[in-house]
Amino acid sequence: MLRTVKDTARRKNSEAIDAVGRALAKNHPKRGWIELFRSALGMSITDLAKKTGLDRSVVSRAEKREKEGNITIQQIEKIADAMGAKFVYAIVPSQGNVDDLIMMQARKKAERIIKRTRAHMALEAQTEGLQSQEGAIEELASDLARNIDRGFWR
């Protein structure tokens, strides 16, 4: 199969996302990343406050806000930098991998197309000899997933 530059780039992006997803599969730590990393370093909140140039209460609130999901990327980057770390974030599939998401959408789209086509064919009495609906959906879905077009996600 001939791969286009666009397809190769999409494939590399998918592989990178899937690798990060596997690495993060153990979920977010309940203590939050700031507290977890600070603790791993054996660093107190007071020490971290001095390194960031922030008040101890500000660092403590930042740890609390992170646990609540209410901290800015800029704040967490500053704290991570003070600990000699780098803050990274990712968007990964909630279940499975990128190809699973693509196939799920391809099946939805294929099902709509096949059902509409079959309804028209039934009206014209042209349904004889057609493959099973499920087989037709899977075949079309595979084709749609291989050749993602502009309207794919609609």
- Residues 1-29 have a mean pLDDT of 82
What pLDDT is stored for residue 34 in this prediction?
96
- Is the pLDDT confidence value at 3 over 90? no
* Both tokens assigned to 78: 């500053």
Residue-wise pLDDT for 19-76, tens only, equals: 888 888 777 788 899 999 999 999 999 999 999 999 999 999 999 999 999 999 999 9
Provide the whole-model pTM: 0.69
**Helix residue ranges per DSSP H, the chain:** 5-23, 33-41, 45-52, 56-68, 73-82, 98-123, 133-146
What pLDDT is stored for residue 95 in this prediction?
87
User: Which has the higher per-residue pLDDT, 94 or 2?
Assistant: 94
* Both tokens assigned to 150: 């502009």
* Both tokens assigned to 31: 């203590």
- Is the pLDDT confidence value at 86 over 60? yes
Residue-wise pLDDT for 97-116, tens only, equals: 999 999 999 999 999 998 88
